[in-house]
Chains A and B, each alone.
Chain A
Amino acid sequence: MTKKISKSARISRREFVVASAAAGGGLALGMHVPFGIDAAEAQAAETEVNAWVVIKPDDTTVIRIARTEMGQGTLTGLCQLVAEELECDWNKVTTDPITPGRNLARKRVWGEMGTGGSRGIRISQDYVRRGGAAARIMLLQAAADQWKVPVAELAVANGVITHAASKRSIRYGQIAAAAAKVTPPDSKSITLKDPKSWKIAGQPLKRLDTAPKLDGSKVFAIDVNLPGMLNAAVMQCPVYSGKLKSVDEAKVASMPGVKKVVRIKDNAVAVVADTYYHAKTALAALPIEWDVGQNGAVSDASIAAHLKDGIDAEGSNGGWGYGDAAKAIEGAAKKIEAVYSTPFLAHATMEPMNATVRYTPEKAEAWVPTQNAEASLAALSEASGLPLDKCEVYRPDIGGGFGRRGGTQDFVHLAVAAAKNFPGVPVKMIWTREEDLAHDFFRPISQCKLTGGIDQDGKLVGLKIRLAGQSINAYLSPSLAVGGPKERQLQGWYQEPGDAQFGYDVQNLQIEYGMRNTHVPVGPWRGVNTNQNAVYLECFIEEAARAANKDSLEFRRGMMAKFPKHLAVLNAAAEKGDWGKPLPAGVHRGIAQFMGYGSYSAAVAEVSVSPEGKLKVHRLVMAINCGHAVNPGQIEAQVQGSVAYGLTAALYGECPVKDGRMTDINFDRYQIMRLAEMPKVETVIVPTYDFWGGVGEPTISVTTPAVLNAIHAAIGRPVRSLPLKNVKLV
């Protein structure tokens, strides 16, 4: 009887947690339940105070993190937020990467795990802070109970609770076990700290995860080595939606180490061997015939014609506006028009796609570099045919993500297909760089025609934007908006405030989207559509300012009175970027502003173009208002990184299509900017402390238009197509 009551009590606690998670965005407290915890969690020496916080007797504080760390610093930032509320000793913080199996077994107590869209911190900040605060409250209550004093008489700092009147103190490690038995507070009752009083959060603390990246000891998924493991190399039909026609397995059967040639679905082949080098070598020697189908005729030219049709056609798949742009432009003193274009781009994460899978008819396990471990788990379940609770995904920190390793999980499906041939034997599948760049989910290609009317006073009185290009949602997520004003392709040009709002008042505005899809797979690429849309809008605004004989900054300011946050960041960039001040001979400035991922960004670029047409980007001043700045040191790193990612695209990025397939599939052709070309980046963080914006992506969008506008200043004409390597600057 006692046993039964105990069990029902536990279940009711779990139900409380689920209800709390549903109401409070994922917060769960008091999950020190004696079941559903794996062996690692059940070590007697440590105490789970709540789902977020585990404390060891030596005060080591383990903070559980559900989001992926891919270089963007979210792991450290989230720990800072938990530690801030917890009042623990930062020097004793370590982390525990939650697996999706653990999350599922505990009814998603850690919330969603997807890490993309610059959401890692801004979407989880509330419930992780409440998790840290709840643990602190429980620890304090336990000390108060032990000392039989009112909890209000206690103070806490650096993981030490003190009672001044009796001169007693106790460390978190000493009281954690008692704290875990305290009834958790109602999460809604918790008052979080005013960010202006933060001591751990808000500081440029060093990352928690650097040391193993310096001596080779960090194990990425590609480094996983399991007993008896086999290795696989894979090739998919180079033409998307083409099929496998034939494969001559016998030709490679006797090559060193080869175990098996595996046909995967109807469009891929893998070679499984003892070592990866053997697998890769045999795959390269394997005679494969593909049926490429009608997409084998698709080329850059046919895609460009398809997009041009989208520019010229009537009818819109989404957009919005006000006034009568066409009439205003028609009646304006001056009319300007331009067509811009940007190419497909690959992500090119430094760690190529890979996954290691151990399959048995009873259980499937995968080691995956993933931005969405729950999507990996779902893919593992689907591909293995095993239910979710018989699957588990281990998720080492990843060697770059940039949007490639989110929802699609193609790398998991392929690895499972190979591993199912070897029950009980782990199989690691690594993609060659060629496979990685041939089979990406590319940044969508697009063209954009912009038309503007300028009145006698030099004001932009009408603006029409017609975008034509491929829809990510149509390809990947038809359940999300396809077409309409919320279509992802219009990112940065939305009417609504808060996320990616269009930041100009132009009197008469018309924005249209002509969806023109191709056979090329597309997906989110760091910054997604803000990058292209910022180039289109901000370079055209530059053209308009010049047509109006106005200073580029003043021209923008004149249209931004209704958008004070956009304007404030523009002003910050202009001020720190010395806008209007003298420059060395031959150096020119450009400016741009844009909004995305809930944050406001602006940039001032300084460039020179040599008489031979060689471009040098000298300096970029990057301003961002991300609302709250959890770790300014990491924000600076992200801004610098976004410049490198954006400039690589501007200078070199393109994925040409010939015969239905990508042609530039290694770094000899798909060029990446190197250190020598990195400009001096100055990061200006201007938080207004009244919202939570993203950091990883927003500033990429302004990098390229600022540079292009500086080039416009240097050479006296606009550059309207990318990459710059194809554009003559003299």
Chain B
Amino acid sequence: MARLNINGKVRDVQAEPDTPLLWVIREQAGLTGTKFGCGIAQCGACSVHINGEVMRSCSVPLSSIKPTDKIVTIEGLSPNASHPVQKAWLALDVPQCGYCQSGQIMAAAALLAKKPKPTDQDIDAAMTNICRCGTYQRIRAAVHVAAGQSNASAPADSRRQG
């Protein structure tokens, strides 16, 4: 039994201490926005925030989490997808298949919390999650939009706000 604070909600979970946080989040807490991609902290699909730091939850054992630690998953990032990163992702139509995008958004949100006006080099260093669809170019542009450093320009369609 362990006590966790996920998205501001305290819950008790039944899992062995070595269980990766990813599987606790997906299978115990039932929050499936956090994805399984590799299990070895390579791809970042499982990225969550722990006390504001972006972490690859597939490689964080439950035993390392304290009840006071604040875990935030994609579901808890903002109410109504209102975080600037989510808004920028929508404005620039970033996702293709979408599977990696929870992790990408969590990584981008953590970057902006630390560096509100990131340079391209900052983005290169922070955004290391794998996307197989190849949305990298729009991710870069959307991080700049979320930082208020450029305007959403593409694709040009004002008729549908999504």
Residues of A within 8 A of B39 (CB): 432-433, 666
**Which single residue of chain A is at the shortest CB-CB distance from B130?**
A672
The reply on A217 being an interface residue by CB < 8 A is yes
Shortest distance from the beta carbon of B6 to any chain A beta carbon, whole Å: 12
A215 to B89, CA, bound (A): 11
Stretch at the interface among A31-39, A346-354, A499-507, A562-570: A346-354
What's the least CB distance linking A233 to chain B, in Å?
11
The answer to whether B159 touches A90 (Cβ under 8 A) is yes
Inter-subunit contact B159/A91 (CB<8 Å): yes
- The segment from A162-170, A237-245, A303-311, A636-644 found at the interface with B is A636-644
Provide the residues of chain A in CB contact with B102, threshold 8 Å.
216
Q: When the two chains form their complex, are residues B98 and A430 in contact, meaning their CB atoms are under 8 A apart?
A: no
| In the complex, chain A residues whose CB is within 8 Å of the CB of B155 | 204-206, 632-634, 636
Whole-angstrom CA separation of A233 from B152 in the bound complex: 43
Which residues B108-146 have CB closer than 8 A to chain A?
123-125, 127-140
Q: Are A213 and B98 also in contact (CB < 8 A) when A672-B132, A675-B124 are?
A: yes
Please pick, from A91, A349, A637, A675, the residue contacting B160 in the complex, using a CB distance under 8 A: A91
A667 with B40, Cβ < 8 A, contacts A205-B160, A275-B23 known: yes
| Bound: A352/B26 CA distance, A | 15
Indicate if the CB atoms of A637 and B97 lie closer than 8 Å. no
User: Does B86 belong to the interface (CB within 8 Å)?
Assistant: yes
Determine whether B12 belongs to the interface, using a CB cutoff of 8 Å to chain A.
no
- Asked if A644 and B93 make an inter-chain contact with CB atoms under 8 angstroms apart, the answer reads no
How far is it, in angstroms, between the C-alpha of A715 and the C-alpha of B55 when the chains are bound?
Answer: 41
A-B Cβ contacts below 8 A, count: 200
Minimum CB distance partner of B24 in chain A: A277
- Would you call B38 and A644 a contact (CB within 8 A)? no
Alpha-carbon distance between A681 and B154 when the two chains are bound, in angstroms: 14
- Choose among A70, A91, A277 the residue with the greatest number of B CB atoms under 10 Å from its CB: A277
Say whether B37 contacts A350, CB under 8 Å. yes
Chain A residue with the shortest CB-CB distance to B78 = A215
A361 to chain B, nearest CB (A): 29
CB of A22, distance to nearest CB on chain B (Å): 34
Select one of B19, B34, B37 contacting A216, CB under 8 A: B34
Contact A633 B157, CB 8 Å, known A277-B19, A644-B134? yes
Nearest opposing residue in chain A for B123, CB measure: A675
Q: Are A637 and B96 in contact (CB under 8 A)?
A: yes
Q: Whose C-beta in chain B lies nearest to the C-beta of A526?
A: B132
Chain B residues within an 8 Å CB radius of A402 = 132
Q: A642 contacts B134, CB within 8 Å? A: yes
Chain A residue contacts of B98, Cβ below 8 A: 71, 209-210, 212-213, 218, 397, 399
Cβ A668 vs Cβ B128 within 8 A: no
- Total chain B interface residues with beta-carbon distance under 8 A: 65
Interface bits B16-29 vs A (CB < 8 Å: 1, else 0): 10011001001100
Q: Assuming A211-B90, A277-B20, A667-B40, is B33 touching A675 (CB within 8 A)? A: no
Cβ of B71 under 8 Å from chain A: no
Q: Are B33 and A215 in contact (CB under 8 A)?
A: yes
Which among A217, A400, A640 is the interface contact of B33 at CB below 8 angstroms? A217
**A72 interface hit (Cβ, 8 Å):** yes
Contact A215 B74 (CB under 8 A): yes
Within the assembled complex, what's the spacing in Å between the Cα atoms of A72 and B98?
11
A640 to B131, alpha carbons, bound, how many Å?
12
Q: Does A290 contact B (CB under 8 A)?
A: no
Chain A residues with CB under 8 A of B162: 206, 210-211
* Cα distance, A675 to B73, chains bound together (Å): 22
Q: How far is the CA of A399 from the CA of B131 in the complex (A)?
A: 10
Residues in chain B near residue A645, CB distance under 8 A? 132, 134
In the complex, A242→B160 CA distance in Å? 53
Q: Mark A384-415 against chain B: 1 for CB-CB distance below 8 A, else 0.
A: 00000000000001111110000000000000
Say yes or no for A583: interface residue by CB 8 A criterion: no
Q: Which single residue of chain B is at the shortest CB-CB distance from A223?
A: B32
Report if B105 contacts A (CB, 8 A). Answer: yes
Q: Answer yes or no: A256 CB below 8 A from chain B CBs.
A: yes
**Contact B42–A666 (Cβ < 8 Å):** yes
Nearest residue, chain A, Cβ from B124: A676
Least CB distance from A661 to B in Å reads 19
Smallest CB–CB gap between A47 and chain B, Å? 24
B156 interface hit (Cβ, 8 Å): yes
| Known contacts A206-B155, A206-B157, A433-B38; A350/B132 CB under 8 A | yes
Closest residue of A by beta carbon distance from B89 = A214
| Contact residues of A between 237 and 278, Cβ < 8 Å to B | 256, 275-277
A211 to B20, CA, bound (A): 28
**CB distance B38 to A206 under 8 Å?**
no
Residue of A214, A218, A643, A681 near B90 (CB, 8 A) is A214
- List of A residues within 8 angstroms of B30 by Cβ: 225
**Beta-carbon nearest neighbor of A257 in chain B:** B16
Contact in complex: A350, B33 (CB < 8 Å) = no
Subset of 29 A-B contacts with CB under 8 Å: A71-B98, A73-B96, A91-B159, A204-B155, A205-B155, A206-B160, A210-B90, A210-B93, A210-B95, A210-B162, A212-B98, A215-B78, A215-B81, A220-B99, A225-B30, A276-B23, A277-B23, A350-B100, A350-B130, A351-B99, A397-B98, A430-B36, A433-B38, A633-B93, A633-B157, A637-B135, A641-B96, A645-B132, A674-B129
What are the 8 tightest A-B residue pairs by CB atom distance, in nearest-first order?
A216-B33, A644-B134, A633-B155, A399-B99, A71-B97, A71-B96, A213-B98, A641-B134
Given contacts A207-B93, A211-B162, A666-B42, 14 further A-B contacts (CB under 8 A): A206-B93, A210-B95, A216-B33, A217-B75, A220-B35, A223-B26, A276-B26, A350-B100, A633-B155, A633-B157, A640-B137, A643-B134, A674-B130, A676-B124
